[in-house]
Chain A
C-alpha cells in the first residue's frame, strides 16, 4: 500500500539540496585536504602532498590545544544550557500571572544575531566602557578584565553562550514537555512516587529523545562557534578562547593556508561526527530499532 517509491519521492527535494550545497563542498574540501596550497606561498599552485597535512596536525600544539579548549567550552556551555533550560521549561509549565510576557523576554536573546551578541558582551566587559568591570570593581573590589585574564575570558564566553542559547533549549524542552502524555504521571502519583522518582523514572525517559536532539544541536553548534567569540575576544587573551571554528577561520582566511585548513576541518568534522554518532547509537538508535521491529 505504501510504496517506498513514495517515500523517496518525499525525500526528493531535500536530498539534492543537501547534496549540492553540502556534499559537493565537502568533497572539494576532502581533495584540498591532501594538497599543499597557499595563495601566497613561494609556489602558489596546488601540489599534491599525500597525507602531509594530517601528519602535521598530530604535532600541531596550537591545533590540539584549540580542539581541547573547544571540547571544554562545549561541555560547560551545553551542560549548563540543558540544566538551566530544563529548569525554566518546567517552571513555564506552571500557570502564573504574566507568563506570556516573561516567556517572550526569556526568548529574546535567541533572536539576536551572534555577531551582535558578541558586540554587546564586548561592550559590557571592556574596561573603561563596560559596566561589568566597573561595578565589579566598585562593589566587590574584583578586577574583571577578560582581555587580560585567561580564566575570566573562558568563563565569559561560556556565560555568553549560555545567555544566548538557553532560550533555544527552553523552547524545545517546553514543546516536548507539553506534548508528554498525562497518564504515566497520574499513575505514578497514585502509586505514591516522590518528585525525584517521577523525574528520574518517568519524565526523563520520556523526554530523552527531545533532550538528546537538543544536546546534539547545541553541541554541534557550540563546536563550530565563530561569530560571537570573534567579536568578543578575537580568540584572546593569548589563545584562551581560540576555539576550533575561530582557529580554522584564522588559518584559512588571513593565512590563506587552504590545504592545512581543509585537513583541520576534516579532522574536526570527523571527530564531531564520531562523538555525535556514539551518543546517537548508544542512546537513541537502539530504542528506535526496537520500535521499528
Chain B
C-alpha cells in the first residue's frame, strides 16, 4: 500500500517535472546550488491541499533542488500556537508557516514574516522565471502590505457558498406542495425570508413524509469558534454589518462606541441565524465547518451555507457523500441592497477564505524556503493541486480543461468563485482576531443554547469586545 502511494507520488513528480519547460528545467538546480541537503520544515494542518503539497510537491521540489521538505501536521488550534511561539521566541524551528487569511494582520503587526518581494529583489539569482505574482487571483492581495510587497504565497482559497439539493428543488411533487403552501415557486433562496421559508417547508415535509431531512444546516457548534465565525463572517455581512461590526478606526464594537456589533441589523442577523436552528438537524449545535458539510453530504439537509472546499467532494465523491450529482451551488441569501453594496465595493456578502505559506524571520534557511514558495506558486503545478484540494489560487487554473470538467460536476462552483469572487472578502485587517473572537464567543454560545436572547447576547458580546480592545490597548 505504501509503495503504491509513493509510486503515485513519483509518477506525479515525473509528470510535474516534464511539464516545466526545458529552458527553465535547470533553474531550480542552479538556484539551489550550495543549498542541497538542506532541510526546510513547515507547519500546517493535514488538509487535502496541505497533504498534496506534502506528498507530491515536496518530493518533486526535492528532486529538482536537492532541498528536503518536512511537514509538521497539526490540528487547527495547535498550528497557530506553535508557529506564534516559534516566531515570538525567534527560535527558527519553522522555515515556512501556514498563514490563514485572517491571521496575516497579526503577523504583519508583529513583523514576523519575511518580505518575499524584497527578498527576491535582493537575491535575483533565486528569482524563478516561472513564479509571477500577477498570475494569481486577487486573493493574493490579502497577503500584501500597503506598499504591495508580498508576505505569503497563497496555497488555497475558497468561498463559503449556498448549497441546495437540486433533486429536491426540481422534484415536481415537492414544487407543487411548496407552491400550494406559500403561493410561490420553489427556487434557491435569494434573501433571508425565502431561506427561512424553505427551511421550514423541508423540515415539515421531512416530518410528514417520515424522511430524515431538514430545511437547513447551521454551523452552530456550541463550544467551538466555528460558530462565531459563521455569525460574524457569513451572516453579519449579508445584513450589511461588516468587519464583525467593529469600527475600523476607533476600534469600537458597541453602538455606543461607534461600532455595529449590537446594532439592530446585527441583532436581526443573529436572531435569524438562531431561528434557523429550529429547522436544522439536531447535530447542528455540535457542527463545526466540516460537520456542516458532513450533514449535507449525508443528505440530511435541503440547503445550507457550506465552505467551498467541501463542495467538490460533496458533489462528486460517492465514497463520502450520499448526494453525488444532486448538489446545486449559488450565492448566499442576502438582505435587499447588499449585493449592490458588495458590487460597488462598499460591502461584501461573505468570507473569502484561504491561506498562504510565508517565511518567518526566525527561519535559518530563508533562501531554501524562498525557492520552495516560488515552486508551489508556479502555474504548472496548480491544476492537479486544484483537483486534489478543490482550491484555486491562479487565474489560469480556471481555464484548464480538467478543472472545467470538474466545475460542471459541482454545478459551477469554480465559475461562481471566478465570477462572483469579488463579492466576497477576506477578514477585516485587524491584528486581534483571535483575541476578540475569544472575548465574544461565550455569548454567541449562550445564544445558541438559549441561555441568552440574541439581543442580550450581542449587547454583552459588544461590551466584551470593547473591554478586550481597551485591555489590548487598541481602544483609547
* Interface residue ranges, A against B (CB under 8 Å): 38-44, 62, 122, 126-129, 133, 143, 145-150, 233-242, 250-251, 253-257
Contacts and interface: CB of A to CB of B under 8 A. Distances in A.
A234 B81 contact: no
B224 A236 contact: yes
Nearest to B88: A39
A54 to B, nearest CB: 15
Contacts of B106: 40
B80 A42 contact: no
Given A126-B283, A145-B285, A254-B80, A238 B300 contact: no
B317 to A, nearest CB: 18
Interface in B353-388: none
Contacts of A128: 281-283, 295, 298, 300
Nearest to B298: A128
B206 interface: no
A150 B451 contact: yes
A126 B223 contact: no
Contact of A256 (B295, B434, B451, B471): B434
B476 to A, nearest CB: 10
Across the A-B interface, the 10 shortest Cβ-Cβ residue pairs = A236-B223, A42-B473, A234-B223, A237-B222, A147-B286, A127-B282, A147-B285, A236-B222, A128-B283, A238-B446
B224 A234 contact: yes
Given A40-B431, A147-B286, A255-B438, A234 B298 contact: no
Nearest to B435: A255
B363 to A, nearest CB: 18
28 contacts: A40-B110, A42-B474, A43-B473, A62-B442, A126-B286, A128-B295, A133-B282, A146-B286, A147-B223, A148-B222, A148-B448, A148-B449, A233-B223, A234-B224, A237-B222, A237-B223, A238-B442, A238-B448, A239-B442, A240-B449, A241-B223, A242-B223, A242-B442, A251-B438, A254-B438, A255-B438, A256-B435, A257-B435
B445 to A, nearest CB: 5
A256 B472 CA distance: 11
Contacts of B472: 38, 40-42
Interface string B440-476: 0010011011010000000000000000000111100
B416 interface: no
Interface in B281-297: 281-283, 285-286, 295
Interface of B: 77, 80-81, 84, 88, 106, 109-110, 221-225, 281-283, 285-286, 295, 298, 300, 431-432, 434-435, 437-439, 442, 445-446, 448-449, 451, 471-474
A237 B285 contact: yes
A148 B431 CA distance: 32
A250 B438 contact: yes
Contact of B446 (A147, A239, A250): A239
Contacts of A251: 438
A256 to B, nearest CB: 7
A215 to B, nearest CB: 29
B434 A40 contact: yes
Nearest to B447: A238
A63 B170 CA distance: 52
A150 B449 CA distance: 8
